[in-house]
Amino acid sequence: AFVVAQVAGSALFLAPALVFVRSFFNSAAFEPGFDTAHSLVLELSPTAFGYDQTRSQRFFDALVDRLRQLPGIEQAALADRAPFSVGFPKNVDVSVRGEDCAQTKCRSAIEFGISSGHFAALALPLISGREMTEQEYLTGAPVAVIGTAMAAELSPGSDATGQWIRAGV
């Protein structure tokens, strides 16, 4: 009876262990879509050290400028969250044809804030359009880069480049 109980207990723990090992190999083979071998992602929170939003932005801009000047650094950029980060996404309603989101159900999207050079820094190709310029980033120009799925939904059968959308309405 004791041996049977040991075998049953071992089998009980063996199944989750095999699932864990399989998950480990699946995550090791995961291809995120950007160059992980030559990328470094840092998550910084200056507000935890008493910086207000304006001072934090100056800190980040100076950090990116200094990083871009270092030998061996090809690109440096900012984003308001790291790829595949844990946390609450910022959802916004998106209006394409001047829809009033208070009256009708608008599409919902997850919004990420990025600086110029973001896609180049992660070696992410742009399918269509262009990356945001440094001047657009510094002035807060109303520029958006959307994914292929959203482009197909918002502009079916045609190129979405140059189309106007309203986000956060």
Of 161, 162, 147, nearest to 107 (Cα)?
A: 147
pLDDT at position 22 over 90 = yes
Residue given tokens 């109980």 in the structure block: 5
- pLDDT tens digits along 55-102: 998 999 899 999 999 998 988 998 887 777 767 778 888 877 767 777
Over residues 111-121, the pLDDT tens digits come to 888 888 888 88
Torsion angle in degrees (nearest 10) through CA of 154, 157, 163, 167: 10
Please answer whether residues 162 and 128 qualify as being in contact, where contact means their C-beta atoms are separated by less than 8 angstroms.
Answer: no
Residue 167 burial (10 A CB sphere; 0-12, 13-18, 19+): middle
- Give the C-alpha distances (Å, rounded to integers) separating 79 from 9, 67, 129: 48, 15, 20
Please compute the mean of the pLDDT values over residues 11-38 and round it to a whole number: 86
Q: How far apart are CA 145 and CA 161, in angstroms?
A: 9
Number of residues in the chain: 169
* Residue 50 CB burial class (10 angstroms; 0-12, 13-18, ≥19): exposed
Class of residue 122 by CB neighbours under 10 A (exposed 0-12, middle 13-18, buried 19+): buried
What's the average model confidence in pLDDT over 17-46? 85
User: Does an H or E element contain 114, and which?
Assistant: none
Averaged pLDDT, 132-147: 86
Q: Strands of 107-111's sheet, edge to edge?
A: 107-111, 90-95, 166-167
pLDDT at 169: 59
Chain centre to alpha carbon of residue 92 = 15
